[in-house]
């Protein structure tokens, strides 16, 4: 009753028209596609942004040097080695820095900011310089061979001499600084066990840290490269999954609206057929796209595809367009 009143007032021209069912079916399809297009427009910007990110990530993955990648077992071993090594180097760095700082207190006294800053600078320079020269010294006498290389780089006598002199010079500086603190600890005396132990500790810690750092260099670059590759691969999978979720959301929205449009048209058709019988009118629906739901859906899908085609996934979209051109 209420639907009849609504149709007579809102769609009187379609009711009285001999092709009213065709007009109303077209109206339902147009409204359906307008709503889907509006929905797709709101999602398109996000999909395009994810599409650009996905293309950039895939470009990196396709151009990656597979020979530089670690296997799964090697990667986890390298990760454990790098984490332990970095923890030890950081601990030694802090310990050596504090030892050098406390040693400078003996011969650089004062509480001014400038004096304190000078002590810290000397401690930091000695610590970093000792660790860096120890690492370079070891690399000069024992060149690094990476996991994907059959041979290590050839030795350079010049580099061995250079880094040996620099390492010895920094060690002598550390020995001089630590000797002042060791003598102060011993109350001005020299030659005790604590005296030599403090000096040896201050000189040995940078050598240990340099050795650990040198050992890490064998796998560190490959570990970083493999880790970056793994992150990019996970990012690619995540973005592709997000795009599919958005596309599925649009597809679900379309199906819901399609069923609503069909039910609306079906309701109008029932009233229109009764309206035609009362007035002796007839309307041939044979062969029309709205004769049944399957053909109605096929027509909607055909028109909907023109909208959806602008939002396809990159790989699927390019493949579909190539197949259409080939056909």
Burial class of 210 by CB neighbour count within 10 A (0 to 12, 13 to 18, 19+): buried
pLDDT in tens, 223-241: 898 899 999 999 999 998 9
DSSP 55-111: HHHHHHHHHS-GGGPPPHHHHHHHHHHHHHHHHHHHHHHHHHHHHHHHHHHHHS---
Query: Is residue 307 very low, low, confident or very high in pLDDT (cuts 50, 70, 90)?
Result: low
Arithmetic mean of pLDDT, 118-140: 91
Rg of the Cα atoms in the chain: 39
User: Nearest CA to 67 among 259, 206, 221?
Assistant: 221
Nearest-angstrom CA–CA distance, 144 and 323: 52
Query: Is residue 4 very low, low, confident or very high in pLDDT (cuts 50, 70, 90)?
Result: low
Question: Could you tell me which residues come within 8 angstroms of residue 2 by beta carbon, excluding any fewer than 6 positions away?
Answer: none
Mean pLDDT of all residues belonging to the chain: 83
The pLDDT, as a whole number, for residue 185 is 79
The pLDDT, as a whole number, for residue 133 is 92
The pLDDT, as a whole number, for residue 306 is 60
pLDDT in tens, 27-51: 999 999 888 888 888 777 788 888 8
The pLDDT, as a whole number, for residue 320 is 44
Q: How many CB atoms lie within 10 A of CB 219?
A: 22
The pLDDT, as a whole number, for residue 157 is 86
Domain boundaries, the chain: 2-64+231-326, 71-218
pLDDT in tens, 155-170: 788 888 999 999 999 9
| Joined tokens for residue 72 | 């799964």
DSSP type of residue 311 = G
| Joined tokens for residue 50 | 């994810």
The pLDDT, as a whole number, for residue 102 is 87
Nearest-angstrom CA–CA distance, 131 and 5: 91
Query: Is residue 180 very low, low, confident or very high in pLDDT (cuts 50, 70, 90)?
Result: confident
In which region does residue 287 sit, left (phi positive, over 0), alpha (psi from -120 to 50) or beta (all else)?
left
| pLDDT beyond 90 at 84 | yes
Query: Is residue 275 very low, low, confident or very high in pLDDT (cuts 50, 70, 90)?
Result: confident
The pLDDT, as a whole number, for residue 232 is 92
The pLDDT, as a whole number, for residue 309 is 53
Query: Is residue 149 very low, low, confident or very high in pLDDT (cuts 50, 70, 90)?
Result: low
Helices (H), the chain: 2-10, 12-16, 20-63, 72-107, 113-141, 157-185, 193-216, 220-278, 293-308, 314-326
Nearest-angstrom CA–CA distance, 303 and 43: 19
The pLDDT, as a whole number, for residue 259 is 93
The pLDDT, as a whole number, for residue 131 is 92
Arithmetic mean of pLDDT, 193-213: 90
Query: Is residue 207 very low, low, confident or very high in pLDDT (cuts 50, 70, 90)?
Result: very high
């Amino acid at each position: 009753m209420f639907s009849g009143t609504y149709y007579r007032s809102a769609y009187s021209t379609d009711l009285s028209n001999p092709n009213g069912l065709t007009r109303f079916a077209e109206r339902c399809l147009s409204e359906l596609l307008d709503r889907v297009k509006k929905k797709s427009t709101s999602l398109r910007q996000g999909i395009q942004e994810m599409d650009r990110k996905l293309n950039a990530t895939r470009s990196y993955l396709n151009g990656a040097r597979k020979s530089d990648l670690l296997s799964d077992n090697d990667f986890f071993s390298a990760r454990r080695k790098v984490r332990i090594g970095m923890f030890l180097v950081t601990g030694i760095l802090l310990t050596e820095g504090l030892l050098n700082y406390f040693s400078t207190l003996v011969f650089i006294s004062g509480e001014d900011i400038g004096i304190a800053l000078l002590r810290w600078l000397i401690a930091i320079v000695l610590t970093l310089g000792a660790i860096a020269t120890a690492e370079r010294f070891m690399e000069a006498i024992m060149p690094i061979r990476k996991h994907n290389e059959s041979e290590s780089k050839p030795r350079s006598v010049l580099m061995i001499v250079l880094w040996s002199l620099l390492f010895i010079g920094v060690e002598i500086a550390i020995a001089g600084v630590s000797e002042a603190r060791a003598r102060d600890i011993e109350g001005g005396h020299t030659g005790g066990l604590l005296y030599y132990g403090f000096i040896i500790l201050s000189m040995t810690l940078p050598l240990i840290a340099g050795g650990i750092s040198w050992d890490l260099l064998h796998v560190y670059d490959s570990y970083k490269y493999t880790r970056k590759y793994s992150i990019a691969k996970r990012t690619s999978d995540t973005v592709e999954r997000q795009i599919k979720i958005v596309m599925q959301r649009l597809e679900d929205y379309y199906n819901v609206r399609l069923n609503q449009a069909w039910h609306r048209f079906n309701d109008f058709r029932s009233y229109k057929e009764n309206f035609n019988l009362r007035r002796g009118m007839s309307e041939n629906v044979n062969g029309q796209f709205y004769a049944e739901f399957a053909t109605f859906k096929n027509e909607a899908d055909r028109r909907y595809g023109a909208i959806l085609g602008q939002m396809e996934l990159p790989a699927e979209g390019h493949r579909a367009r190539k197949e259409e051109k080939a056909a």
